[in-house]
């Protein structure tokens, strides 16, 4: 019987798109890209052998088959989710402790954490922020997320996570002034003291190592930099992983998108003898890489 089940991630993407009548709005709801929703829906259509949407310019509409599948699959998936919630809520004392850097917590993890809580309501996520590398002698944690493979305790099982790159970003109203790298010389650049090297590396990649902005404004933490960029104070060079929600919402926009700086990949490390809750959180992290 299970062999006749369609891919549930694809069903979830379809239901979000059907409710919103938009792949773009569905992508925002699911915290994925428009392309990811489109691919998932296409894979479901291929599986079912029928078209579920009529694609039009900036609009999608359910076909007759799509309306039928939406009417029946929506309540079925809601019933499964409800059953899972009722069972999981009954389980006591379940938690997962996540050790991350402050900027990653504020800009990547917390905006997505509601999705984890909705999927696993019986598990309490406990976010612990620290700047140094994970340390087994410090506050206890079940899973840690950091860039690169250096300075991980040997006791942790380290797995690859997000690939990343840095881009120039600013408030949309400022983008009309920046069509080429030289235009940044007349603008203010926002930098964090912890990632100031990104600007120098980006200039070299752009072939303009001598480029100097009109003004450089420094902040202690990257999340202050990003808030300043949202408020229109200037442009920043920042990792896409930390910009993604602001880019998706339109609070920030990518300037010079063809000039991207590859960054060290993120990894996560599992503490010894990981609990079931920790493994579920790791599985949830992996699902975001797939998206």
- CATH code, domain with 150: 3.40.190.10
If asked whether residues 82 and 148 sit together in one domain, one would say no
CA angle 171, 146, 154 (to 5 degrees): 175
Alpha carbon dihedral 192, 194, 198, 199, in 10-degree steps, equals: 40
If asked whether residues 211 and 272 sit together in one domain, one would say no
If asked whether residues 142 and 282 sit together in one domain, one would say yes
If asked whether residues 269 and 146 sit together in one domain, one would say yes
If asked whether residues 26 and 36 sit together in one domain, one would say yes
- Token digits of residue 49: 């052998």
End of a domain among 40, 62, 89? 89
How far are the Cα atoms of 12, 233, 243 from residue 177, in angstroms, in the given order?
40, 14, 20
pTM: 0.67
If asked whether residues 187 and 148 sit together in one domain, one would say no
Specify whether the backbone of 21 is left (phi greater than 0), alpha (psi in -120 to 50) or beta.
left
- Token digits of residue 93: 């004392």
By CB neighbour count within 10 A (0-12 exposed, 13-18 middle, 19+ buried), where does 276 fall? exposed
Domain enclosing residue 33, as ranges: 2-89
If asked whether residues 138 and 278 sit together in one domain, one would say yes
If asked whether residues 137 and 280 sit together in one domain, one would say yes
By CB neighbour count within 10 A (0-12 exposed, 13-18 middle, 19+ buried), where does 190 fall? buried
Residue by residue, pLDDT tens for the chain (291 residues) are 455 788 888 998 999 999 998 888 888 878 778 888 889 999 999 999 999 999 887 778 999 999 999 999 988 887 877 776 666 555 545 899 999 999 999 999 999 999 999 989 889 999 999 888 888 777 889 999 999 999 899 999 999 999 999 999 999 989 887 888 888 889 999 999 888 899 999 999 989 889 999 999 999 888 899 999 999 999 999 999 999 889 988 999 999 889 999 999 999 999 999 999 999 999 999 998 866
Q: Give me the phi and psi of 195, to 5 degrees please.
A: -130, 30
């Amino acid at each position: 019987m299970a062999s006749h089940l369609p891919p549930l991630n694809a069903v979830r993407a379809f239901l979000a798109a059907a409710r919103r009548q938009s792949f773009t709005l569905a992508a925002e709801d699911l915290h994925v890209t428009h392309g990811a929703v489109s691919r998932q829906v296409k894979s479901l259509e291929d599986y079912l052998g029928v078209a579920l949407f009529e694609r039009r310019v900036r609009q999608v509409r359910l076909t007759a088959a799509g309306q039928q599948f939406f009417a029946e699959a929506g309540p079925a998936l809601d019933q499964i989710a409800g059953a899972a919630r009722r069972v999981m809520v009954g389980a006591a004392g379940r938690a997962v402790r996540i050790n991350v850097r402050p900027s990653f917590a504020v800009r990547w993890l917390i905006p997505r954490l509601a999705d984890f809580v909705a999927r696993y309501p019986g598990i309490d996520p406990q976010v612990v922020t620290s700047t140094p590398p994970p340390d087994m002698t410090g506050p206890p944690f079940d899973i840690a997320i950091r860039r690169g493979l250096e300075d991980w305790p040997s006791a942790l099982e380290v797995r690859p996570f997000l690939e990343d790159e840095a881009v120039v970003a600013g408030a949309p109203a400022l983008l009309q002034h920046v069509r080429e790298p030289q235009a940044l010389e007349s603008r203010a650049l926002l930098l964090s003291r912890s990632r100031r090297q990104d600007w120098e590396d980006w200039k070299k990649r752009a072939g303009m190592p001598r480029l100097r902005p009109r003004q450089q404004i420094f902040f202690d933490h990257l999340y202050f930099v990003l808030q300043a960029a949202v408020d229109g104070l200037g442009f920043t060079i920042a990792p896409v992983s930390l910009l993604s929600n602001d880019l998706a919402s339109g609070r920030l926009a990518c300037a010079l998108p063809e000039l991207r700086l590859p960054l060290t990949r993120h990894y996560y490390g599992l503490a010894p003898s990981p609990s079931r809750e920790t493994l579920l959180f790791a599985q949830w992290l992996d699902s975001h890489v797939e998206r």
